């Protein structure tokens, strides 16, 4: 099966892309943990992307769309399917008429925000320090410091499950707190247009630098992590609940609740995905026991993490 999967994916990826076997996901996630993907495919354009996904659907192979890996934990066993990386071939950023800014799904939010600043366009300052790519940011309606993707998106270009390219409004995508209907509908984000306002580049840059300073001060940027590990429970802050449960610095192996910000689980050295997941489960259990509040992971988990009954993460 592995050989056939690899060979057939190679057959639809041209010189502009790449296909690898047993690629360690620790090299492609910001947690720096996780086992190998059986096949790791980098399509060279949207046509190849559609061909890869069409082949996976036809053959019944599991597949996953990977951006910057900034909100993902892959199990130590790895992913027994096709990891489809949306990278540089989808990284275009350009200004368009009417104050619109277009960015491909593989473009990093930091690059998009910097490009907007250089064009004198304001509205994306909040995204300048989010360590993810556009595709994942749209899927999760990423946000920080009072801003969210839904606030600045004009329209989104997607590849449908039928292989058609469509342009949808933010309303069509049901963007909410760290959620959308993109995965449920079987869409893959190809790119998006932002509707931004004219602004002073110096003031925009100053705001970006101010937010960068706040991040350095409050977040454990010196260690690998996936950013905020848990979603914000209604009426609470996850980090405050974890802190009040006495879990600051709590660790399992090299996985640790950050001493700087309790909302972050960090990899202090060579934490395995099992260490990270085990720590998250313990933290969630202790918070539930102490405060009766259920913490939900914001991080996407992929692979077998040994849930009771042998379920998948």
Catalytic amino acids? 178, 228, 298
Tell me which residue has tokens 């449920």: 184
Distance CA 48, CA 113 (A): 28
Nearest-angstrom CA–CA distance, 299 and 228: 8
SS (H, E, C) 243-286: HHCCCCCCEECCEEECCCCCCEEEECCCCCHHHHHHHHHHHHHH
How far apart CA 240 and CA 246 sit, in angstroms, is: 10
């Amino acid at each position: 099966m592995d050989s056939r999967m690899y060979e057939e994916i190679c057959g639809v990826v041209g010189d502009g892309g790449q296909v690898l076997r047993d690629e360690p996901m620790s090299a492609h996630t910001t947690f720096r943990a996780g086992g190998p993907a059986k096949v790791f495919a980098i399509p060279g354009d949207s046509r190849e992307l559609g061909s890869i996904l069409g082949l996976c659907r036809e053959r019944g192979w599991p597949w996953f769309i990977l951006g910057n890996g900034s909100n993902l934990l892959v199990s130590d066993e790895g992913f027994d399917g096709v990891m489809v990386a949306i990278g540089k071939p989808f990284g275009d950023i350009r200004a368009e008429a009417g104050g619109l800014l277009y960015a491909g799904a593989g473009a990093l939010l930091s690059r998009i925000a910097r490009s907007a600043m250089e064009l004198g366009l304001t509205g994306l300052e909040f995204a300048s320090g989010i360590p993810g790519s556009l595709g994942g940011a749209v899927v999760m309606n990423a946000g920080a410091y009072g801003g969210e993707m839904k606030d600045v998106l004009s329209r989104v270009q997607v590849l449908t499950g039928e292989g058609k390219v469509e342009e949808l409004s933010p309303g069509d995508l049901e963007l909410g707190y760290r959620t959308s209907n993109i995965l449920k509908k079987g869409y893959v984000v190809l790119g998006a247009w932002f509707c931004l306002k004219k602004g002073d580049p110096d003031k925009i840059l100053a705001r970006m630098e101010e937010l960068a300073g706040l991040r350095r001060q409050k977040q454990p940027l010196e260690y690998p992590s996936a950013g905020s590990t848990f979603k914000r429970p209604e009426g609470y802050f996850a980090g405050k609940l974890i802190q009040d449960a006495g879990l600051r610095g709590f660790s399992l192996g090299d996985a640790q609740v950050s001493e700087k910000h309790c909302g972050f689980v960090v990899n202090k050295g060579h934490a395995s995905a099992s260490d990270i997941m085990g720590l998250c489960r313990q933290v969630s259990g202790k918070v539930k026991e102490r405060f009766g509040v259920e913490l939900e992971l914001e991080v996407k988990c992929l692979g077998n993490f040994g849930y009771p009954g042998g379920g998948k993460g």
